[in-house]
Amino acid sequence: MDSCKHLIIGAGPAALAAAQAIRTCDKAAGITLVTREETLPYSPAVLPYLLNEELTEKELFAKGRDLLAALKINLICCKEVAAVLHETKEVKFTSGQCQAYDKLLIATGAAPQIPAIENLEPDQIYTFRTFSDFEKLHRTLTDKQTVAIYGAGLVAVEAAEKLCMAGHRVTIIARSSLLRKYFSPKNVAVLEQAFSRHGGRIRTNNTLASVRKVEDKLELMLSNNEKLVVDRLLVATGVTPNLIDNDLIPVIEGGLKVGRHMETNLPDIYAAGDVAAAPSFYDGRNAPCPILPEAVLQGKIAGANMAGKVVEYSGWIPGNYLRCFDESLFSVGLTGIQSGSRYKTLEKQAGGSSLKLIFTDDCLVGVEALNMKLIHPGVFLNLIRKKIPVTEYQELLLAKPRETACWLMLKQGKTQAV
Ligand SMILES: Cc1cc2nc3c(=O)[nH]c(=O)nc-3n(C[C@H](O)[C@H](O)[C@H](O)COP(=O)(O)OP(=O)(O)OC[C@H]3O[C@@H](n4cnc5c(N)ncnc54)[C@H](O)[C@@H]3O)c2cc1C
C-alpha cells in the first residue's frame, strides 16, 4: 500500500509540531511542508533576539534544519498556496501548479494587521512577523536611530526592549497600556518603569493619528496632539489569520473554525496554530489564540489525528511569558478576574516579586507572577489544564508554589496510574 501523503501549508511552530507528531505515529508517511518564505522553518517568537544579537541567524534556523533531516520531512520553499481544492484533494499554488494530498493541515499563521492611519504609505512602515521583516528593518538600522513602535502587545514590547538594548532610542505608542490583556496595572507599571530606566519612552492612551514624511524622517502626530519625529516606524498593533481562498470552511473571529481534533468541516483537512479558531478551554467558544504554546499543542494534536490516532484538544488557555530587561512576568489562564466574583484570589508580595493565584472551588484557573524566577509557568499551566483539585492546598500553593505544584502533579499521576 502507498504511504499516506501529508501536506502541511506553513513551516512555523504549528507545522513543525504536526510533522513531529505524524512521524511519531507513522514512520513511513510522506510529510511535506510548503512555505511561501525562502528560509528553513523557524519560530517567529525568537526573531526579537536577532535585533540585539542575542541570537544568530544560524541559531534561528538550526532546530528546523535538524528536524527536517531527522524526521525525513520534505520542505518546499517560495511557494504560496492560493486555494484548497478539497474535491480533488489538491492545493493550488499562485503559480498555477497543483499538489495532491491525502491529509492536509492548514498552519498558515497570521500576519500583521495595519490600522488606518492618515497619510500612511505602506513603504513608510516596518512590520515584524517574518525573517524577511527582520532583515528589512535590520538593514536600515545602521546607526543609533529613533524608532517609534505603534502597539502594546508582545511583539511591540519584545521588539522595543531589544531595540533599546541595541542602543536605539525607542518610543512605544500604546492605545491603552502595555500588555493590558495579560497583566494587572501594578505589573504593567513595573514594566513601564523598566523601559524608562533603559531610556525607552512610552506614550499610553494614545493613537497614531497621522504620518508625514519630512525629508528622510517621519513626523508622527499622536491623538493628544504631541508631535514625534522619528527615523523608523514599526507597526505591531495585532495580527490577523492568514486565510487561504476557500469559502467552505467557516471563519470565526477571523480564524478557521476547527473542532477538538483540529479538524475542519471538510474531510481530511485540519487547521492549527494562529490561523485556527479552536475551542477555548474555559467555555468551548471558538476563537484564535495566537500564542506559541497553543500553536505547538494544536499542531501536535492535528498531526496525531492526521496520522490516525484519536487525540482531543482540551482547548486554548491564554498565557504570556515575558522577560523584559531585569523583570520577568508571566500570566496563565484567567487573570483579569474582578474581586467579588465567584473566583477566590490569593496573593503574596515580597520585595520586587509577587504571585497571584485564582481558584474556583476546586481548581486553579489563573496565575500572574512577577519575578518569581524559579517557577516555570508550564507547571501552573499543567495544573490548570489537567483540572487537578487543589482545594486543600491553596495556601500551600501560594507559600511554596514550585514544590506544591510539582507534588500535586506527581500525586495526580499516581492516582491516575492506580
Ligand atoms: C516577534 C514575535 C514575538 C512573539 N513572541 C511570542 C511570545 O513571547 N510568546 C508567545 O506565546 N508567542 C509569541 N509570538 C507569537 C508566536 O510566534 C505565534 O503564535 C506562532 O509563531 C504561531 O505559529 P504558526 O505555526 O501558527 O504560524 P507562523 O509561525 O506564522 O507560521 C506560518 C507559516 O505559514 C506560511 N504561510 C502563510 N501563508 C501561506 C501560504 N498561503 N502558502 C504557503 N505558506 C504560507 C508562512 O510562511 C509560515 O511558514 C511572537 C510572534 C512574533 C512575530
Per-block average pLDDT, block size 10, for the chain (418 residues)? 89 98 96 98 98 96 96 97 97 97 98 91 93 96 93 96 96 94 93 95 95 93 96 96 91 98 98 98 96 97 98 96 95 79 90 94 93 89 93 94 90 60
Residue to probe by mutation, ligand 1, list 16, 34, 36, most atoms within 8 Å of CB:
36
- Chain-centroid distance of CA 323 in Å reads 15
Q: Is residue 116 part of a domain?
A: no
Cβ atoms within 10 Å of 347's Cβ, excluding its own = 12
Q: Are residues 248 and 105 in the same domain?
A: yes
> Rounded to the nearest whole angstrom, what is the distance from the C-alpha of residue 19 to the centroid of ligand 1?
16
Q: Which atom of ligand 1 is nearest to the CA of 80?
A: 42
Q: Do 229 and 253 reside in the same domain of the chain?
A: no
User: Is there an atom of ligand 1 within 6 Å of 151 CB?
Assistant: no
Residue 117 domain-assigned (yes or no):
no
All cell numbers assigned to 61: 534556523
* Residue of 99, 104, 292, 321 to test ligand 1 pocket, by largest number of atoms within 8 Å of CB: 292
Rg (CA), the chain: 23
Atom of ligand 1 nearest to the CA of 13: 25
Instruction: Please tell me the distance between residue 160's alpha carbon and the centre of ligand 1 in angstroms.
Output: 19
The answer to whether position 292 is within a domain reads yes
Q: Is 218 in the pocket of ligand 1 (CB under 6 A)?
A: no
CA 323 vs CA 161, 194, 371, 405: distances in Å: 10, 11, 9, 22
Domain match, 296 and 398 both: no
How do residues 347-360 score in pLDDT, each as one tens digit?
A: 999 989 999 999 99
CATH classification of the domain holding 265: 3.50.50.60
Give 44 Cα–ligand 1 centroid separation in angstroms. Answer: 5
- The residue from 210, 237, 264 where one domain ends is 237
The Cα–Cα gap between 265 and 257 comes to 8
Same domain, yes or no: 208 and 257:
no
Same domain membership, residue 137 and residue 285: no
Helix (H) or strand (E) holding 32: strand 30-34
Q: What's the one-letter identity of residue 244?
A: I
Please report the pLDDT score of residue 181 as a whole number. Answer: 86
Angstrom distance (rounded) from CA 54 to CA 47: 10
CA-closest residue to ligand 1 atom 5 = 45
Task: Kindly report the backbone phi and psi dihedral angles of residue 297, in degrees, each rounded to the nearest multiple of 5, phi listed first.
Answer: -65, -45
Comparing CA positions, the residue from 299, 225, 285, 300 lying closest to residue 252 is: 285
Question: Does residue 315 form part of some domain?
Answer: no
Q: Does 146 reside within a domain?
A: yes
What are the φ and ψ backbone dihedral angles of 9, each rounded to 5 degrees?
Answer: -90, 115
Residue of 35, 99, 132 best suited for mutating to test ligand 1, as the one with most atoms within 8 Å of CB: 35
Residue 311 lies in a domain: no
- Nearest residue CA, atom 35 of ligand 1? 10
87: Cβ–Cβ under 8 A, 6 or more apart, which residues? none
How many structural domains does the chain have?
3
Could you identify the residue written with the cell 523608523? 232
**Residue the block writes with cell 505524524:** 22
Mark whether 212 and 167 lie in a shared domain. Answer: yes
Residue 60 in any domain: the answer is yes
21 and 71 assigned to the same domain: yes
**Amino acid 82: pLDDT:** 97
Same domain as 232, residue 244: no
Of 278, 306, 334, which marks where a domain is finished? 306
What pTM did the predictor assign? 0.96
Average pLDDT, whole number, for the chain? 94
The reported pLDDT for the residue numbered 342 is 82
SS3 state of residue 114: coil
pLDDT at 120: 84
Cβ atoms within 10 Å, residue 132: 11
d(CA 274, CA 368): 23
Q: What is the pLDDT at residue 316?
A: 98
- Mark whether 97 and 148 lie in a shared domain: no
Question: pLDDT at position 339, please?
Answer: 59
The finding on whether 172 has its CB within 6 A of some atom of ligand 1 is: no
CA–centroid distance, 130 to ligand 1, in Å, is 8
pLDDT of 418 reads 37
Name residues whose C-beta falls within 8 Å of residue 100's C-beta, 6 or more positions apart in sequence: 5, 7, 88, 89, 90
Domain that holds residue 352: 326-417
CA of 325 to the centre of ligand 1 (A): 24
Indicate whether residue 108 lines ligand 1 (CB < 6 A): yes
Pocket of ligand 1 contains residue 37 by CB under 6 Å? yes
Ligand 1 centre distance from Cα of residue 10 (Å): 9
From 132, 181, 242, the mutation candidate for ligand 1 (largest count of ligand atoms within 8 A of CB) is 242
Residue 319 lies in a domain: no
The single residue listed with the C-alpha cell 511519531 is 24
Q: How far apart are CA 81 and CA 333, in angstroms?
A: 34
Residue 245 is predicted with a pLDDT of 82
Query: pLDDT tens across 370-380, in order?
Result: 999 888 899 89
